[in-house]
Structures are given as C-alpha cells and as structure tokens.
Amino acid sequence: MHSNVIQFPTHAVREWIIIERTIRNILQEGGASPEMTEEVCARMKEASEKFQARFEFSYQTPPLPEGLRMAIQDSINVQATYS
C-alpha cells in the first residue's frame, strides 16, 4: 500500500524561503547579476544554517485607517504562512 502523505517543508525551510525571496528581490532591484544573486543567496543560506540565525523584518506604514492597516497586516501574515 502506498502512502499519500505529502511532506511539507519544516518551519526553518519556510522561513529561509521567505528570506531568500527578499534577498533576491533586493539584489535584482539593485541590478545584481544572476550569478551574484546566486552566490549571495548560497552564502547567506550557509551562514543562516551554521549560526541557526533567525531573521525578523519590521516595517512602518504611514498613518492609515484601522481597517486598511489590519488588512495589510493580515496579508503579510498570510504570505508568511504560505511562503
């Protein structure tokens, strides 16, 4: 009998995916070559695993109506959950 269990990435893997996506976006926006982007991501992943680093990002928004502010926060939470 074959199992239909789907393996999901661990929390650490999901966190790394979010961090890597952020690094890639920043480098691409800055005009980094694909080779540089790959090198930086590989080195950052190695350092993250070696030091078991946890990265947290903060953000600030201009004053917004409460409903809009909550919608933005909910969107960020959903992206972090599914990324």
Quote the pLDDT of residue 54: 67
pLDDT band at 71 (very low <50, low <70, confident <90, very high): confident
Matching residue, tokens 């920043």: 26
Sign of the CA dihedral with 6 first, then 11, 15, and 16 last = negative
Degrees to nearest 5, angle at CA 68 with 62 and 71: 120
How far apart are the C-alpha atoms of 66 and 44, rounded to whole Å?
36
pLDDT digits (tens, 9 = 90+) for 7-49: 665 666 778 888 899 999 999 999 999 999 999 999 999 988 8
pTM: 0.53
